[in-house]
Structure formats: C-alpha cells, structure tokens
Amino acid sequence: MHREIAYTVRFPEAASHRVEVEARVPVRRGAGAPDGFLELMLPVWTPGSYLVREFARQIETLSAVTPDGAPLAVAKSRKNRWRVEAGGAAEVVVRYRLYAREMSVRTNFVDAGFALLNGAAAFLTRVDDGRPAAVPHRIRVEPAAGWPAVVSALPRAGGESAAATFLAADYDALVDGPIYAGDPDVRRFVVDGAEVELVSEGGRGVWDFARAARDVEAIVRAQAALWGGLPFARFVVLNLITEGAGGLEHAGSTVLMTSRWKAGTAKGWRDWLGLVSHELFHAWNGKRLRPAELGPFDYEAEVPMRSLWFVEGVTSYYDDLVLRRAGLSDDRQYLARLGETAERIETAPGRELQSLADASYDAWIKFYRRDENSANHTISYYGKGALVAWLLDARLRRATGGAKSLDDLLRLAWQRFPESGGYSPDDLVALAAELGGDDVGAWLRQAVEGTGGLDYATALDEFGLRFVEKPRGAGGAGTGDAAEGDAVDGGGNEPLDEDGEPGARAWVGVKTEMRDGRLIATEVRRGTPAFAAGVNADDELLAIDGYRLPPRGLAARLAAYRPEQAVELLVARRERLLRLPLVLAAEPPCPWHLEPDPDATPEQRARRAAWLAGG
Ligand SMILES: [Zn+2]
C-alpha cells in the first residue's frame, strides 16, 4: 500500500534558515476523485494559537515531478493551495523550500544549531473533498551535521542511525506532533507508568537541568493526582531555552520557549514552572476535554469558540495552584499571583464592554491582535477565566459543604465528554448545576455571559481571605501595565504630605516607553486624566507647565505636583507641538492585594488549607 504521504526533510542551508521538503503524494483515483490533478494545501493557522498566520507565505519555491522525474505543471489555486496537473501519474513528487526564522512555539525555526518544525507551518498535504487527506503521513528527517537527536511525540517508524522516521496516523496527528532536531540535554523519568522526557535546547552553563527534571516530575505527579491518572503513555516537553517566550499545547508534547535567565531568580523559575504546568494541564483540558468546535479542524479558516475561556482560564487557574500543591510555591506567593490577576482584570476598562464568552469568540480578531486600545474594550479570557474558575471552585465548595470542588467538575467533565465530541457552553453550566445546584449554574452563566466586575465575597469568606488596599509600589500587587514591561507614571519618589507621611501621588494615567530617547505615550486608558485631556497614543511627552521633562522622569516630576492640580502638558504629535490642559488626579491605590485574613476562623483556615493542598 502506497496510500500514505511520505516526506523527507533536509537542511542543506540550515545556517540560512532554510528547510527542504520532498513529499511523495499518491494521486487519488476513482469515484469522487478529481480528474487528473492533485490539490495541495498548507494550513493558515495552527491549533492552540488563534490567529490566521498564512504559513504559505514562507514557501520560497515549489515544484512537482512524476516519480520518473518528468516536470508537472503547478499553479496556485488559493492563497494556501496549489494544483498539480498529475496526468496519468500514480504519485507526484513535490519539492518545496521553506524559510524558517520565526522564534515562536507555533511556527518554524532553523539555524545552524537546531530546528523546530510545526506541522501546520511545515507540511503541505493533499486535499480530499475539502479536508486534509485521511491517510497516514510518514516523515523522515535527515538532521544537519552536529545534530545527534531528532525528537517528537510522534510514533517512531524505523530505527535508522542519523535520520529519524515518524509515522503520523493522519494529518491532525502530524500537526499535533512538532519535531525538534539538534543537540539537546535530555532527562527522562516515569510517572504512573508513563515516560516523560524533558528535552532542552540551549541553556548549558546557566540552566539547572537536574533541578528542572525534578520539579517537572513533581508537577506531573500533582496533575496526575488531580485528574486521577495520566492520559498518555509518553509525554515530551520540548524546552527551547532560546530567549523566546510562550508555550503551545499538544496531546503528547508541548513546546516551550524561555529565557535562560529565568533559572537565575526564584520568581523567574516559578514563571517557567508555571508555563510547564499550564501546558501540561492542556493535555487534559483543551486537547482531550475540549469545546465541540475544537476539532475536526478547519485549517483554512478561523474557528471561533465561546468556551475558549474554559480551556485557557481554567488552565490558568490551575497552573499556579498545582505549583502550590506540588510544594513548588508557598501560600503567600500563590495568593499574590491570584491578587495580581484580579487587579489586572478589575482595572481594565474593557471589563465593562466585553464578556468572557465574547472575549473567547473574538480571540482571533481581538486578543491575538492587541493594540494600543485593547485595554479599553477587551478583557483577557485567560485572566478573567482564571478568576471565574476560582470563584466557581469556591461556590461549589460552599454549596456542598466542601464535598465537591472544581476538581470534581473537571473529573466529571473528563468522563462525560469524550474526545470525539466535546462540550457546549450549556454543558458547562449544566455540569456546575449538577454538582453545586441551580444557583451555581445560574451564577456561572452570568459570570461567563455578563460584563462588569466579579463578586469575590463568597470566595473570600469560604477561604478566610481578604483583599487589602496598598499604595502602588509599596509591595502591593503592582499594576498590570508594569507587568507587561512598560513604564507607567507614578511609582517613583514617594511624595510627602504636610505631616511628612506618604500621600497620594499626582497621576496622569498614561502608559509610556522610551523610543530613540523620546518619552512616548503607548496606551491611554478610559477614565484617566490623560484620556480626558486628549493625550493620544504615539504622542511625545515634552513638558509640564513649560518645563521640560527629564528623560524617563515623568514620575519624578509628578512628585512635585498635587492631585487635582491643573497643568499644561506639551506634546508633539506628528511633528506638531500641542498644549493640552490637563487636570491631575490622585493615583488610585491598588485594592487587590490578596492575603489570608488574620481574623479567619479555624473552619475558614481548614477550608483554605484543603483548597491549597488539594482536597
Ligand atoms: Zn493555554
């Protein structure tokens, strides 16, 4: 049987980021088959990353021949499709060259050191009746010199020495099995009979591989305990220590990108462990337990989902909670992270406009296409989804006297919705009602479909916690703006009031960054003095009341002003100087610092301990 599609991948120009692919594609004959031609396609997006990325734009050359080497005519038939005039040939040999230099978890990257190939971005396939051909896809990878290892979660087919051959049961499996080739550090361990491989590219001399393997094993054990077992026999963590960022989930593996310097600080290490925990959690929530829309995939168009919040928000809630349960963080660290999430969501003006379900549905055109106005009209389904998961957890525990929790809901959903089908938004509400009663179901529907702030009272009371107001920069939760890496005004010198005590800071409320030595506004949120004064993104901030601002000195200059003071802000906009009257405000304090309530009852403390320890 030669009904499979067989690829050979070579790297003759690895140092210049090129991949050469040869695909032997059988021509379909008989009823329903096209007459004498072959249609090929490359996806426009890849599952887990909800943006049309047009992978076909990285194909530099493409040609086709018969098995005897006779050239065949090829023409583009869509932006991501090619039509090959096959004549009478039983098989067509397609050769194409890919450019691969995007350092991300969802595309291809190749240089002299290593290669990462993601199926949707690397392997074109035959189109049968509008879908990827339902045939096995065999991939032989011939690594470049100096690359002793080729790694994928795809099943191996053939034990050659230098080259590696993998066999994907169908195109979906190929897309779900990224391939790495290079010279990695490899650590293996076994949990509940499943082999886990931590495969790390880069980082030698800085990264602690042994500690990484120990901590990842603790995460796998904690998640196995939560779900009641592991859903795979083998799992590969492709840990690319390449100064990139992000992670992408797959059923039998994950691709992570991180900075080597995460290993140098306790917080950086927890960030990396949180990423591992997040992507591993998706092996259940997202890859197997999934919204009905998430498969079989239409690889050529957006696939919107109103339940994406459950995939990403619930996973975001558990990624850090699992670290706490595995002993990799403590209560204070965990609660601080949860408080930061609450602050980020509850201070974003977009919470009044966009529901969690709408944020999920519009991920393709909003979340994945963030711009200077995103905070004003969108909400993160990761952050708000995590908060709704926390509040749902508390409400289930409250309604059942601690007998049931969100852990139980996940395990029930896992049994109820097999991989082949998936769940609907109504299914999730029905599950919550089944476990916690109709009130909990109704609450969940409102939390997912409504806008505005969330009600934390039940969760705070259930677990004996409180939100404490702290001034910014005083060890409080910090601002979401700062977490995103840009400077915000405020947070500089502590102003003193007449008694010599710290007072409220004068505040403009504009997010800024330095560009070519200029202080540039990057985001203007609704409700701030800057918004009211008509400051625009990309304005250069030059002076207040006729006095030039020192470089990076907005916060320091504002310390000399009082809240409510009227000033004149001089900005440059498209090369023109403008004077904007602006009334300063008091910088809002951060009321979202989450901590244990010192007056918590023994019952509350016991419930908190059970929650944080996994009970
Ligand atoms: Zn995720």
State which amino acid sits at residue 517.
Answer: G
**CA 384 to CA 216: how far, in whole Å?**
27
In the reported structure, the alpha carbon of residue 229 is separated from the centroid of ligand 1 by a whole-number distance in angstroms of: 20
Mean pLDDT of the chain: 93
pLDDT tens across 381-400, in order? 999 999 999 999 999 999 99
In the reported structure, the alpha carbon of residue 548 is separated from the centroid of ligand 1 by a whole-number distance in angstroms of: 45
What is the structure's pLDDT at 159? 64
Q: Is 283 helix (H, G, I), strand (E, B) or coil?
A: coil
Q: Are 248 and 254 spatial neighbours (Cβ–Cβ below 8 Å)?
A: yes
Give the helix ranges, DSSP H, for 41-122. Answer: 119-122
In the reported structure, the alpha carbon of residue 279 is separated from the centroid of ligand 1 by a whole-number distance in angstroms of: 6
In the reported structure, the alpha carbon of residue 317 is separated from the centroid of ligand 1 by a whole-number distance in angstroms of: 11
Q: In the predicted model, is pLDDT for residue 510 greater than 90?
A: yes
Segment (H or E) for 520: strand 518-524
Q: Is 324 helix (H, G, I), strand (E, B) or coil?
A: helix
Q: Which residues sit opposite 97 in a β-bridge?
A: 20, 61
- The share of the chain scoring above pLDDT 90, in percent, equals 88
**CA 112 to CA 114: how far, in whole Å?**
6
- Write phi, then psi, for 234 (nearest 5 degrees): -150, 140
In the reported structure, the alpha carbon of residue 249 is separated from the centroid of ligand 1 by a whole-number distance in angstroms of: 7
In the reported structure, the alpha carbon of residue 96 is separated from the centroid of ligand 1 by a whole-number distance in angstroms of: 32
In the reported structure, the alpha carbon of residue 441 is separated from the centroid of ligand 1 by a whole-number distance in angstroms of: 24
pLDDT tens across 336-345, in order? 999 999 999 9
- Mean pLDDT, range 317-345, rounded to an integer: 97
In the reported structure, the alpha carbon of residue 118 is separated from the centroid of ligand 1 by a whole-number distance in angstroms of: 17
Q: Is 357 helix (H, G, I), strand (E, B) or coil?
A: helix
**pLDDT classification of 473: cutoffs 50, 70, 90:** low
Q: Are 427 and 440 spatial neighbours (Cβ–Cβ below 8 Å)?
A: no
Please give the model's pTM, rounded to 2 decimal places: 0.94
Q: Is 39 helix (H, G, I), strand (E, B) or coil?
A: strand
In the reported structure, the alpha carbon of residue 583 is separated from the centroid of ligand 1 by a whole-number distance in angstroms of: 41
In the reported structure, the alpha carbon of residue 445 is separated from the centroid of ligand 1 by a whole-number distance in angstroms of: 22
Residue with tokens 């800071």: 505
Residues 6 or more apart whose Cβ sits within 8 Å of residue 255: 105, 116, 118, 178, 180, 238, 240, 247, 248
pLDDT tens across 23-44, in order? 999 999 887 777 889 999 999 9
Q: In the predicted model, is pLDDT for residue 489 greater than 90?
A: no
pLDDT tens across 442-457, in order? 999 999 999 999 999 9
In the reported structure, the alpha carbon of residue 99 is separated from the centroid of ligand 1 by a whole-number distance in angstroms of: 27
Q: 401: alpha, beta or left, given left = phi > 0 and alpha = psi -120 to 50? A: left
Of 112-126, 470-484, 591-605, the range with the lowest mean pLDDT is 470-484
In the reported structure, the alpha carbon of residue 542 is separated from the centroid of ligand 1 by a whole-number distance in angstroms of: 41
What is the structure's pLDDT at 62? 98
End-to-end CA gap in the chain: 53
Q: In the predicted model, is pLDDT for residue 331 greater than 50?
A: yes
**pLDDT classification of 481: cutoffs 50, 70, 90:** very low
**Residue ranges near ligand 1 (ion) with Cβ within 5 Å:** 312
Tokens at 293, concatenated:
């829309």
pLDDT tens across 54-71, in order? 999 999 999 999 999 999
Q: Are 530 and 488 spatial neighbours (Cβ–Cβ below 8 Å)?
A: no
In the reported structure, the alpha carbon of residue 160 is separated from the centroid of ligand 1 by a whole-number distance in angstroms of: 35
pLDDT tens across 152-195, in order? 999 999 766 679 999 999 999 999 999 999 999 999 999 999 99
In the reported structure, the alpha carbon of residue 312 is separated from the centroid of ligand 1 by a whole-number distance in angstroms of: 5
In the reported structure, the alpha carbon of residue 368 is separated from the centroid of ligand 1 by a whole-number distance in angstroms of: 13
In the reported structure, the alpha carbon of residue 152 is separated from the centroid of ligand 1 by a whole-number distance in angstroms of: 20
Q: How far is CA 543 from CA 252, 421, 556, in A?
A: 56, 60, 13
**CA 205 to CA 184: how far, in whole Å?**
13
In the reported structure, the alpha carbon of residue 342 is separated from the centroid of ligand 1 by a whole-number distance in angstroms of: 18
In the reported structure, the alpha carbon of residue 320 is separated from the centroid of ligand 1 by a whole-number distance in angstroms of: 13
Q: How far is CA 449 from CA 99, 353, 385, 396, 480, in A?
A: 42, 11, 12, 19, 24
In the reported structure, the alpha carbon of residue 377 is separated from the centroid of ligand 1 by a whole-number distance in angstroms of: 22
- Mean pLDDT, range 305-326, rounded to an integer: 98
In the reported structure, the alpha carbon of residue 310 is separated from the centroid of ligand 1 by a whole-number distance in angstroms of: 10
Q: What are the E-state strand segments in 494-596?
A: 506-507, 510-515, 518-524, 540-544, 547-548, 566-573, 576-583, 585-586, 590-596
- The share of the chain scoring above pLDDT 70, in percent, equals 94
In the reported structure, the alpha carbon of residue 427 is separated from the centroid of ligand 1 by a whole-number distance in angstroms of: 21
In the reported structure, the alpha carbon of residue 128 is separated from the centroid of ligand 1 by a whole-number distance in angstroms of: 31
In the reported structure, the alpha carbon of residue 18 is separated from the centroid of ligand 1 by a whole-number distance in angstroms of: 29
What is the structure's pLDDT at 553? 86
Tokens at 154, concatenated:
């795809």
In the reported structure, the alpha carbon of residue 294 is separated from the centroid of ligand 1 by a whole-number distance in angstroms of: 14
In the reported structure, the alpha carbon of residue 315 is separated from the centroid of ligand 1 by a whole-number distance in angstroms of: 6
What is the structure's pLDDT at 615? 59
In the reported structure, the alpha carbon of residue 495 is separated from the centroid of ligand 1 by a whole-number distance in angstroms of: 41
